[in-house]
């Protein structure tokens, strides 16, 4: 008896004694002990946890840089660090956050764990490649850490030429190599997801019965495979110019530094969709589960993911409106950039429509989902603003842009990541975390975030440039507010670190489906057995079937004290 | 999927493609020696694309593979066309506003 | 959607005890189709990887057509042409090694793999000769060397633009050669495994995947040859 019409043996939970007897069933966590069993695992679930540890470390490092930036910006004068040092701070903050946290986090942690479970497979298509992806990520991380240990890089995470190729006196190559190698890690994951989703769905799991989380990760993987190699080869050219003096972008030889920007942004714009699409996938799952309703307009949302992935490749020039690109192509990029907002907006409308007349409960994951919807909307609307040539000419390279992308990256992606972690934590660990603390953290994050970044919209609009180590005194009040917000945000992020770790040892056992959610991943025990399903399910209807009487009778709304 | 094929036919196809590729190479060298103006590029790329198609369809067995494989191959080349096409569009339309660097 | 293979029929019965079937797959066919699709996706990344360089080439060729043609004149069409033929032969032998697996001829697989390796090595040998020639004629930009083409068409500003051509030449052919070296390495391992009888008509995925990679590297050269070597082929 389960929620997706599994017609074979009864649900796994009835076969063995349940958690209430204290007997610990075989699952992927207790299947084997010891460092080797983890470091040489091929189990996608264990690899997801390995990634969880790695991305958390890099998130902390990136956050540390953010803290230092905000401390410097408490006062108008540059008084905490040297201007060169400030350049290194924001560069390393960007590199670490973008390449070592935002891009891998949701796909490599939640995606790795859930994709096989959600489609009814035993593992990803290429388990060894999956493990390799984690190792490659860490090697890449080592190069970046080496670069940090030797003073960091000062080019901005965007590595614009000719500064990065000629004039920077920092260890550009090692940081660039770190990014180059991390690209392979990303590609291995994306490739794995695409093949898995195409070839390893359970019987009856047709494309339009897939959870939207899967559609999002599929679209993300397409972007990864098509875009990442371009930034890789571009970094290679920068390295060739720096080390071998092969001046591809050197104006003295007739080269064009702006050509670097075309190649860089061809990937780096779609990269932002790599960062947001998985979070959108999480939000779709959360909104359905905590409204106990199917997502409104499922097919539209699914196609919107693909639409975002495709259109996202056609707008990169909006990063170069004032860089000297052709005014004709700038106009085209402007229009296309507005078009790409449409599928994202459609998703927001559909999530809202899902909530309407749903049986909404406000557990911690739902708090993050709701936060996402609001903050992502603000970030997205300001995106349409800066897609407008006239506005961007004014706000480019100011804090308006910084605020815009942090609303998407932090208000969007990180909220999605946190929501997903909180939702699937019982599935991953079989444990519950303290409800009060988790809601407090969510609140702190929401308040802290807005206090940090909303003032930055105003600052940017008033003309405060980004990447400057000092600013005119009239901007101080807003900067102080922003730094205050950042401190609160920091506390909000540290709390989960403590209660999640606490929950692994002392948390209450969650039971297999504490949220009463519908989905193949919830039809298997929490934590799942190594092989995911004792018998592969046969799927007979779509996801989010909360509204059928059969399902209604068998599942119960999430208990108030859960999460 | 090769078990559907007659081994002799497979061999024949391989050698035919091999021959066509060599002939194509010769053709492209000969065509390059003649000044055809703008058509030189068209001919060279056309022959190269044809050779690539032969390799893809027959040596890489795409003709006998799933539709997904064919779509994947096409998608890759389409995306490269997007990268080159739009970037070139920028430089081509720059001429009317700015000088192309160094020209 | 496009394919129906993923959500479907139960596995073929005789596959389950095949030593090469990995546990998370239901059938050899599913495993083979997965590895083929996976390899193709990797090749898409390679298309975009080399593609970035082709983009740079197109832009600078558009900007400096005469200098590019004059620079190209310094590349030897004969060597380039021979190398193109060598690679085409190696693609044939690669395809034949898979054919040999399909008809269960173990030794023939090894013969064709070795032939492919030797042809690949020949290509690299010829490239080495060409590179040495460039060094001799001071046509190598960067590397701390002195770029000084002995050509009235490539002096002054033209000489600087010519450095763009030659930088692209070395990066593109160098990257291509690196891919060939990796390919030869993998083929060598496969040749040893093939000798040990690892591949037959029921299982030859690694051969197929390596073949795809090898053919792709051939295709890159099919485009590099006219774009780099044949630009200046007609009399100026």
The answer to whether the pTM exceeds 0.90 is yes
Contact yes or no for B98 and A324 at CB 8 A: yes
Task: Compute the distance between CA of residue C82 and CA of residue C124 in angstroms, rounded to an integer.
Answer: 12
Of C8, C41, C167, the CB nearest to A195: C41
- CB contacts < 8 A (A, C): 140
Task: Choose from A250, A326, A337 for mutation: most chain B CBs within 10 A.
Answer: A326
Interface of C with B in 29-88 (CB under 8 A): 33, 36-37, 40-41, 43-44, 47-48, 51-52, 54-55, 58-59, 62-64, 77, 81, 84-85, 88
Burial of A53 (0-12, 13-18, 19+ CB in 10 A): exposed
* pLDDT at residue number A91: 97
The mean pLDDT of A316-342, rounded to a whole number, is 95
Using the beta-carbon criterion (under 8 Å), do C37 and A187 form an inter-chain contact?
A: no
Q: SS3 for C160?
A: helix
Q: Is residue C85 part of a domain?
A: yes
The whole-number pLDDT of residue C143 equals 86
Chain A partners within 8 Å of B86 (Cβ): 314, 317, 329
* C-beta atoms of C41 and A232 within 8 A: no
Has residue B3 got a pLDDT over 80?
A: no
Q: Whole-number mean pLDDT of chain B? A: 88
In this structure, are residues B92 and C63 in contact, taking their beta carbons and an 8 Å threshold? no
CATH number of the CATH domain containing C136: 1.20.120.80
Kindly state whether residue A561 falls inside one of the protein's structural domains: no
Q: Do C38 and A125 touch (CB under 8 A)?
A: yes
Residues of A in contact with C47 (CB under 8 A): 229
pLDDT digits (tens, 9 = 90+) for A156-203: 999 999 999 999 999 999 999 999 999 999 999 999 999 999 999 999
- What band does A270 get if pLDDT is binned at 50, 70 and 90? very high
Q: Which domain holds residue A362?
A: 12-77+95-202+211-554
A559 occurs within a structural domain: no
Q: Which of C47, C52, C233 sits opposite B76 (nearest CB)?
A: C47
In-domain check, residue A89: no
Mean pLDDT of A449-476: 97
Are residues A518 and A290 in contact, defined by beta-carbon separation less than 8 angstroms?
no
Chains that touch B (3 or more CB pairs under 8 A): A, C
Residue A372 lies in a domain: yes
pLDDT(A19) > 60: no
- pLDDT surpasses 70 at A560: no
Mean pLDDT by 10 residues, chain C (236 residues): 43 67 92 96 98 97 92 94 97 97 95 98 98 94 89 89 96 98 98 96 95 98 96 66
Averaged over A539-560, what is the pLDDT? 70
Q: Which of B32, B40, B57 to mutate to test the interface with C (most CBs of C within 10 A)?
A: B32
Asked whether residue C198 is domain-assigned, the answer is: yes
Inter-chain touch A314–B97, beta carbons under 8 Å? no
Q: Which residues contact C210 (CB under 8 A, 6 or more apart)?
A: C94, C183, C186, C187, C190
Looking at residue C15, its pLDDT comes to: 63
Tell me the average pLDDT of chain A.
Answer: 93
Partner B, chain A 288-347, Cβ-Cβ below 8 Å: 313-314, 317, 324-329
Tens of pLDDT, residues A498-530: 999 999 999 999 999 999 999 999 999 999 999
Question: Tokens 């000297």 belong to which residue?
Answer: A324
What average pLDDT score do residues A439-463 get? 98
Q: Which residue, among B76, A246, B51, B77, has the nearest Cα to C173 in the 3D structure?
A: A246
* Domain around C176: 49-229
CATH number at residue A316: 1.20.210.10
> Does the structure show a pLDDT above 70 at A562?
no
Question: Which phi and psi (to 5°) does residue A458 adopt?
Answer: -65, -45
Nearest-angstrom CA–CA distance, A196 and A190: 10
Q: Is the pLDDT assigned to residue B101 strictly greater than 70?
A: no
On whether any CB of chain C is under 8 Å from the CB of A43, the answer is no
Cα A268 to its chain centre, rounded Å, is 14
Q: Tell me the pLDDT band of B36, cut-offs 50, 70 and 90.
A: confident
Tell me, what's the pLDDT at A335? 97
A317-344 average pLDDT score? 95
Residue A246 forms contact with B (CB below 8 Å): no
Task: For residue A90, tell me if it sits in a domain.
Answer: no
Cα gap B54→B52, rounded to integer Å: 5
Q: Is residue C57 part of a domain?
A: yes
C145 lies in some domain: yes
Mean pLDDT of B19-26: 97
For residue A224, give the nearest of C45, C40, B70 by alpha carbon. Answer: C45
C15: in domain: no
Smallest CA–CA distance, residue C195 to chain B, in Å, is 22
Measured between alpha carbons, how far is A251 from A284 in angstroms, rounded to an integer? 48
Q: What are the residue ranges spanned by the domains of chain B?
A: 1-65, 67-103
pLDDT score at B35: 86
Contact A246 C46 (CB under 8 A): no
Close Cβ partners of A468 (under 8 Å, ≥ 6 residues apart): none
Portion of chain A with pLDDT greater than 70, in percent: 93
Instruction: Please give the Cα distance from C86 to C185 (Å, whole number).
Output: 18
Count of domains for chain C: 1
Domain count, chain A: 1
Tally the residues of chain A.
563
In angstroms and rounded to an integer, the radius of gyration of the C-alpha atoms of chain A is 23
Q: Do A228 and C142 touch (CB under 8 A)?
A: no
């Amino acid at each position: 008896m389960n929620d997706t019409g599994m017609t074979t043996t009864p649900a796994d939970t009835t076969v063995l004694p349940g958690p209430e007897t204290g007997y610990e069933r075989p699952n992927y966590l207790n299947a084997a002990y010891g460092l080797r069993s983890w470091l040489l695992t091929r189990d996608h679930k264990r690899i997801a946890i390995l990634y969880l540890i790695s991305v958390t470390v890099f998130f902390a490092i990136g956050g540390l840089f953010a803290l230092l930036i905000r401390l410097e910006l408490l006062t108008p004068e540059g008084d905490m660090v040297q201007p060169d040092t400030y350049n290194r701070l924001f560069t390393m903050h960007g590199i670490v956050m973008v390449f070592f946290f935002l891009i891998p986090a949701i796909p490599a942690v939640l995606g790795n764990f859930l994709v096989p479970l959600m489609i009814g497979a035993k593992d990803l298509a290429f388990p060894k490649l999956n493990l390799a992806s984690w190792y490659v990520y860490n090697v890449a991380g080592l190069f970046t850490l080496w670069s940090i240990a030797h003073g960091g890089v000062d080019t901005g995470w965007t590595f614009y030429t000719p500064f990065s190729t000629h004039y920077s006196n920092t260890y550009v190559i090692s940081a660039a190599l770190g990014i180059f190698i991390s690209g392979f890690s990303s590609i291995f994951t994306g490739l794995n997801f695409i093949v898995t989703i195409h070839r390893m769905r359970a019987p009856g799991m047709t494309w339009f019965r897939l959870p939207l989380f899967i559609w999002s990760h599929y679209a993300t993987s397409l972007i990864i495979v098509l875009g990442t190699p371009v930034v890789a080869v571009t970094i290679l050219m920068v390295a060739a110019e720096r080390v071998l003096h092969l001046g591809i972008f050197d104006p003295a030889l007739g080269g064009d530094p702006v050509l670097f920007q075309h190649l860089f942004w061809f990937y780096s714009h779609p990269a932002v969709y790599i960062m947001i699409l998985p979070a959108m996938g999480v939000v779709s799952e959360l909104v359905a589960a905590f409204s106990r309703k199917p997502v409104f307009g499922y097919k539209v949302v699914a196609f919107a993911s693909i639409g975002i992935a495709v259109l996202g490749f056609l707008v990169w020039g909006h990063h170069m409106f004032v860089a000297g690109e052709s005014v004709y192509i700038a106009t085209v990029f402007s229009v296309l950039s507005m078009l790409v907002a449409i599928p994202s907006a459609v998703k927001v409308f559909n999530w809202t429509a899902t909530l309407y007349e749903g049986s909404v409960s406000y557990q911690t994951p739902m708090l993050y989902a709701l936060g996402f919807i609001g903050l992502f909307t603000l970030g997205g609307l300001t995106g349409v603003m800066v897609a407008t040539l006239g506005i961007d000419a004014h706000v480019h390279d100011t804090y308006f842009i910084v605020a815009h992308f942090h609303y998407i990256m932090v208000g969007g992606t990180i909220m999605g990541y946190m929501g997903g972690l909180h939702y699937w934590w019982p599935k991953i660990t079989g444990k519950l975390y303290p409800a009060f603390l988790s809601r407090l953290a969510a609140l702190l994050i929401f308040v802290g975030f807005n206090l940090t970044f909303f003032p930055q919209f105003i600052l940017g609009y008033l003309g405060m440039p980004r990447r400057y180590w000092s600013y005119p005194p009239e901007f101080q009040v807003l900067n102080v507010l922003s730094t205050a917000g950042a401190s609160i945000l920091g506390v909000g992020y540290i709390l989960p670190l403590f209660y999640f770790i606490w929950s692994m040892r002392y948390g209450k056992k969650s039971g297999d489906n504490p949220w009463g959610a519908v989905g193949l991943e919830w039809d298997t025990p929490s934590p799942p057995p190594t092989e995911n399903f004792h018998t592969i399910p046969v799927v007979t209807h779509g996801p989010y079937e909360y509204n059928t009487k059969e399902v209604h009778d068998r599942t119960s709304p999430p208990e108030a004290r859960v999460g | 999927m090769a078990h559907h094929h007659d081994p002799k036919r497979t061999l024949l196809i391989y050698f035919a493609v091999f021959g066509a590729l060599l002939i194509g190479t010769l053709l492209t060298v000969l065509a390059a020696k003649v000044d055809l103006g703008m058509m030189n590029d068209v001919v060279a790329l056309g022959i190269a694309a044809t050779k690539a198609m032969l390799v893809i369809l027959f040596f890489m067995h795409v003709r006998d593979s799933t539709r997904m494989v064919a779509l994947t191959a096409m998608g890759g080349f389409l995306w490269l066309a997007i990268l080159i096409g739009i970037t070139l569009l920028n430089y081509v339309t720059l001429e009317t506003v700015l000088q192309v660097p160094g020209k | 959607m496009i394919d129906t293979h993923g959500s479907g029929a139960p596995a073929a019965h005789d596959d389950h005890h095949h030593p090469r079937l990995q546990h998370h797959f239901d059938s050899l066919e599913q495993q083979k189709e997965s590895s083929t699709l996976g390899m193709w996706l990797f090749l898409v990344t390679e298309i975009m990887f080399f593609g970035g360089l082709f983009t740079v080439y197109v832009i600078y060729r558009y900007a400096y057509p005469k200098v590019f043609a004059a620079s190209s004149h310094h590349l030897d069409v004969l060597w380039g042409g021979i190398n193109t033929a060598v690679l085409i032969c190696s693609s044939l032998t690669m395809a034949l090694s898979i054919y040999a697996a399909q008809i269960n001829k173990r030794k023939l697989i090894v013969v064709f793999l070795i032939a492919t390796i030797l042809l690949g090595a020949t290509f690299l040998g010829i490239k080495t000769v060409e590179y040495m020639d460039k060094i001799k004629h001071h046509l190598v930009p960067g590397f701390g060397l002195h770029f000084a083409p002995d050509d009235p068409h490539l002096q002054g500003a033209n000489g600087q633009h010519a450095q763009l051509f030659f930088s692209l030449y070395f990066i593109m052919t160098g990257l291509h050669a690196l891919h060939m070296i990796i390919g030869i390495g993998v083929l060598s391992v496969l040749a040893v495994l093939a000798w040990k009888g690892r591949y037959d008509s029921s299982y030859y995925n690694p051969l197929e995947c390596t073949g795809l990679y090898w053919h792709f590297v051939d295709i890159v050269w099919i485009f590099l040859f006219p774009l780099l070597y044949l630009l200046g082929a007609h009399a100026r």
